[in-house]
Amino acid sequence: MGRTTVEIEDESFVPVRKSVPSGTTVVWETVGDASHVVDSVQFHNTADKWQFRTQTLRSGDSAVYSFDSDGIYEYYCGLQGEEMCGVILVGDVSLSESLPCE
């Protein structure tokens, strides 16, 4: 299936919201100088509960996850906190609520 990238900058995930079809592999790639941890979370009741946590990612490091089921997958930086967050929207789903980092 497909593959797409979310860049991890020093203060944010780019893009914050990423829509992908089911079966897509997402690559989080650190392009800034700060270290980060991509950590699954559930900010909203409509979001899926999922388990994902990377090791500490430094500049040039990356992590991957394959999204095989439609859903709303929220995450944040386990080092920076909720002000640095994102969501992967898999399949025909939407999230009308704001994320803590928006």
| Within-domain flag for 102 | no
| Within-domain flag for 95 | no
pTM: 0.97
| Within-domain flag for 53 | yes
Query: What range does the domain containing 42 cover?
Result: 3-90
> For residue 44, what pLDDT is reported?
97
Give me the number of domains the chain comprises: 1
| Within-domain flag for 101 | no
> For residue 99, what pLDDT is reported?
98
The rounded distance, in Å, linking the Cα atoms of 27 and 19 is: 13
What is the average pLDDT across 38-59?
98
Does residue 1 carry a pLDDT above 90?
no
> For residue 29, what pLDDT is reported?
98
CATH of the domain at 11: 2.60.40.420
